[in-house]
A = this chain, B = another copy of it.
Amino acid sequence: MQMPDPDAVLIGRKADIVSKLERLLPADAVISDIAETRAYECDALTAYRCPPLAVVLPGSTEEVAAVLRLCHAEGVPVVPRGAGTSLAGGALPTADSVILGVARMTEVLETDYNNRVIRVETGRTNLSVTGAVEEDGFFYAPDPSSQLACAIAGNIAMNSGGAHCLKYGVTTNNLLGVTMVTMDGTVLELGGAHLDAAGYDLLGLVCGSEGQLGIVTEATLRILPKPEGARPVLMGFSSNEVAGACVSDIIKAGVLPVAIEFMDRPCIRACEAFAKAGYPDCEALLIVEVEGSDAEIDHQLGLIKQIARGHDPVELREAADADEAGRIWLGRKSAFGAMGQINDYICLDGTIPVSELPRVLTRIGSLAAEYGLEVANVFHAGDGNMHPLILFNANTPGELEKAEGLGADILRLCVEVGGCLTGEHGVGVEKRDLMADQYAPADLEAQMAVKDVFDPAWLLNPAKVFPLQVSEARRTARLAAE
C-alpha cells in the first residue's frame, strides 16, 4: 500500500482548508498541528499509518453538516472516525483527508423505557450506552470486545457484533434509526423508534457501510431488560475439531445460548496467565452461556451438557457463582490483550457456516504450518464468526508480509466454504483487495453504484472497502464525466 508523504502542494492546500474549517468550528475543534494530528494517523490496525491533513471534532449534527459541505465544495476527502478501534483500518487517513471525529458527541438525547429505546450521539462508547440505563435494569446488547472504548458510530459503520450476539443479534438488529449527514451536507433521518419503515430500508444499508455513505451523528438503539440471571459453562476438549463438532451439534439441536465462545490452546494459555480464569489446560475450550430464570438456565444447560458429553470433554464445569462467571468472561474478553503481550498478531474476522468449523480449523492448522507461522483461535463459534490470530514478530523483516499472506489465504478459505471475509470488523483497507475473491464483478458493481448515489465524487472514507484499483478507476471515470 502506498502512502505518499505530504508535499508542497498539500501544505498550501492544508493552510487554506484549515483556515476555512476554523471559521466553521470552535477553535479547539480543529487540529492541524502535525504533532497533534499524529494521534490520528492510525487506528487499531497499527501496521498502517498516515497523518491526515487536519482533524475536526465537531460538537453537533449541524457542525458535522457544515464541515461536510465545505469539504464537498473543496473536493477534500473526509475520513470519519469513532474511537479509532478499527482492526481493519476503517479509520485510516489519507494524506489529503480531513479526519472527522465524533468523539465529542457523547450525549444521551432520550431514554424511553416504555418503548425500550435510547437515542444517543454516536461518539458515545458502546459500554456507556449500557451505563446510562443499567441502574434501571436495562442494557444494550451488542458487546464488541472493545466495548469500553469503541464508539456507537464505529459499531454502526462496521455492524459490530460481540460475544453475546448469538442470541441478541449484531448492531443492525439493535439499531432502529439514525440521523446521518451525507457528503454534501444533507441531513437524513432514517428509521425511527418503530418496527420497519415505509419504502426502502436505507437504515439497513447504512449499517455496515463503513462510513462511506454518510456520517451518522445520532442513533436510536434498542435496549433490553437485563435477564434474571446468566451462567457460563466451561467445556474442555481434546482437539479443535472435536470442539468444533460440539458447537455444530449445539446449533443443530436448536438450543439458543447467548454465547458460544471458542479458544484453542495458545489462547487458553495466554488468557489463563493473564486473567487467572481457571481455564483447564487442554487443546480447545468452549465457553457456553445461557440466560434466564434459574429453572430455564438449569433446563438449557442440561441439554447443552448432554450434547457436550457425547464429545468426551476433558472438562465440563458450570460457574458456581457470579465471581467465577466473572473470571471466566474476563479471561475471554482479555484474549486479544493477553495475546498482544506475548506476540505481534493480525486478527482475522472470517465468518463461515457453523457446520464447517471442524474442517476449517484443520485447514487453518495446515496453512499455518505451510507458512511456518503460529495461529491462535479465539472467536464467536455459535455464529461461525472466526477470529484467527496470526502470530508473528514485527521486528523480523518480511514476517508481517508473510502473516498477511497467510491471512489472505485463510480468508479465501472462508469464502470457499460459503462464508465471507468479515463478520464484524469490516473490510477497511485490510481486506479491500480480497473483495474480488468474495464477489463477482456484477455484485461489486451494484455496491459501488450505491456509493455513487450517496457520494458521487467518492470523497467519504476513500480507498477502502473496494479493491483499490477498481475504486480508483471508477473515481477517475466519474471525475472525467463531470
Per the 8 Å Cβ criterion, residues 186-211 of A in contact with B are 186-190, 192-202, 204-205, 207-209
Q: Which of B182, B187, B207, B447 is A199 in contact with, Cβ under 8 Å?
A: B447
Q: Which residues of B contact A447 (CB under 8 A)?
A: 199-200, 202
CA distance A112 to B117 in the complex (A): 36
Q: Which of B173, B194, B252, B466 is A351 in contact with, Cβ under 8 Å?
A: B194
A20 CB within 8 Å of chain B = no
CA distance A402 to B206 in the complex (A): 39
Q: Which of B204, B296, B424, B446 is A295 in contact with, Cβ under 8 Å?
A: B296
A224 CB within 8 Å of chain B = yes
A428, chain B: closest CB distance, angstroms = 10
Judge whether A194 and B352 touch: CB under 8 Å: yes
A283, chain B: closest CB distance, angstroms = 23
Q: Which of B187, B196, B292, B450 is A159 in contact with, Cβ under 8 Å?
A: B196
Q: Which of B173, B383, B422, B424 is A173 in contact with, Cβ under 8 Å?
A: B173
Judge whether A193 and B418 touch: CB under 8 Å: yes
Judge whether A354 and B199 touch: CB under 8 Å: no
A9 CB within 8 Å of chain B = no
Q: Check A201/B204 contact, CB under 8 A, given A351-B194, A442-B188.
A: yes
Judge whether B116 and A252 touch: CB under 8 Å: yes
Tally of contact residues, A, Cβ under 8 A: 85
CA distance A446 to B450 in the complex (A): 10
A145, chain B: closest CB distance, angstroms = 16
Judge whether A201 and B196 touch: CB under 8 Å: no
Q: Which of B116, B207, B351, B451 is A251 in contact with, Cβ under 8 Å?
A: B116
Judge whether A209 and B198 touch: CB under 8 Å: no
Judge whether A195 and B450 touch: CB under 8 Å: no
A274 CB within 8 Å of chain B = no
Judge whether B159 and A201 touch: CB under 8 Å: yes
Q: Which residues of B contact A113 (CB under 8 A)?
A: 252
User: Taking the full assembly, how many copies of this chain does it contain?
Assistant: 2
Per the 8 Å Cβ criterion, residues 401-453 of A in contact with B are 418-424, 427, 431, 435, 438-440, 442-444, 446-447, 449-453
Q: Check A196/B115 contact, CB under 8 A, given A202-B447, A204-B204, A205-B204.
A: no
A385 CB within 8 Å of chain B = yes
**Looking at A173, A248, A442, which has the most chain B CB atoms within 10 Å of its CB?**
A442
Nearest B residue to A207, CB-CB? B201
Judge whether B209 and A201 touch: CB under 8 Å: yes
Between-chain CB contacts (< 8 Å), 24 pairs: A112-B355, A115-B251, A116-B251, A137-B254, A188-B443, A189-B440, A192-B419, A192-B420, A194-B352, A194-B353, A194-B418, A196-B423, A196-B424, A198-B427, A198-B435, A199-B427, A199-B439, A200-B205, A201-B207, A293-B296, A295-B296, A449-B454, A452-B453, A453-B453
A contact residues vs B (CB 8 Å cutoff): 112-117, 137-138, 159, 161, 169-170, 172-173, 182, 186-190, 192-202, 204-205, 207-209, 212-213, 224-226, 248, 251-254, 292-293, 295-296, 299, 351-355, 383-385, 418-424, 427, 431, 435, 438-440, 442-444, 446-447, 449-454, 465-466
Q: A192-B418, A295-B299 are in contact. List 17 more A-B contacts (CB 8 A).
A: A114-B353, A114-B354, A116-B252, A116-B254, A161-B195, A186-B442, A195-B384, A196-B422, A196-B423, A200-B205, A200-B208, A200-B451, A201-B204, A202-B205, A204-B204, A205-B450, A296-B299
